Amino acid sequence: VGRKTANVVLNVAFGEPTFAVDTHVWEITKALGWVPTNASRDQAYDHLNELVPGGSPGRAALGCRISVD
C-alpha cells in the first residue's frame, strides 16, 4: 500500500485529518505554485500538509475542493 492509499484509508475509515496527493493534485498544485515545480509527490504532500489546516473537511478530496477566485 502506498502513501496515497494509506492516507485515503486513514481519512475515510478512521477520520484522520489527512489527504491523498494523486497525479491531478500533484500537477495542479505545481502549476498553481503551491509546491515547487520539481517536488516529488511525497514532497508535494509535505508542502500541502503545511498549507491545508488539519481540521479542514476537504483534506481527503483536496483536488475536488480547490476554489480559485
Where do we find the cell 495542479? 28
Element (H, E) at 13: helix 3-14
Q: Using DSSP, how many helices (H) and how many strands (E) does the chain show?
A: 3, 0
Q: Which residues are catalytic?
A: 4
How far is residue 23 CA from its own chain's centroid? 10
